């Protein structure tokens, strides 16, 4: 379906002075993906896992650097995290600054917050 939509977009664009590089800086994208390629591949390990939550926590505990790419996956820039409140308790609905969950040394609270972030980001 997505491929069909993209083909339609591509086929219906009128000739102009703009190239695909006008819309996306592919060189920059490639450079940025290369910076986080290892962490992305570690997250690929989770694909198809029966107990995703347990496997995610195990992965984060063994490879804490994986946490730094979670905001990227939902398009939140690291410099915006400090002013982006995250609600982790839906019962009280109190937004909090959670930037620390992606950078501080890992503990049980951070693992719980990362898991909540991962499961609610979809």
Q: Quick: pLDDT tens for 15-68.
A: 776 777 777 888 888 898 999 999 999 999 999 999 988 998 899 889 988 988
Q: Quick: pLDDT tens for 104-114.
A: 888 888 888 77
* Rounded Cα distance, 38 and 27, in Å: 19
Long-range contacts of 29-38, Cβ-Cβ distance < 8 Å, separation of 24 or more: 36/68, 36/69, 36/72, 38/65
Could you tell me the pTM of the whole model?
A: 0.62
pLDDT of residue 120: 61
The boundaries of the domain holding residue 13 are 2-120
Q: Rounded to whole angstroms, what are the CA distances from 34 to 12, 31, 45, 60, 121?
A: 32, 5, 18, 20, 23
Let me know: does 37 contact 31? Beta carbons within 8 Å: no
Let me know: does 24 contact 32? Beta carbons within 8 Å: no
- What is the count of structural domains for the chain? 1
């Amino acid at each position: 379906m997505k491929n069909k939509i993209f083909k339609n977009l591509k086929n219906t664009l009128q000739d102009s002075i703009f190239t695909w590089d006008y819309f996306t800086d592919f060189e920059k994208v490639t450079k940025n993906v290369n910076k986080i390629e290892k962490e992305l591949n570690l997250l690929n390990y989770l694909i198809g896992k029966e107990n995703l939550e347990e496997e995610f926590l195990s992965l984060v505990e063994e490879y804490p650097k994986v946490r730094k790419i979670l905001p990227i996956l939902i398009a939140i820039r690291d410099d915006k995290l400090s002013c982006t409140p995250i609600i982790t308790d839906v019962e009280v609905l109190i937004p909090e600054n959670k930037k620390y969950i992606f950078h501080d040394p890992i503990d049980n609270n951070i693992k719980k917050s990362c898991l909540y972030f991962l499961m609610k980001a979809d």
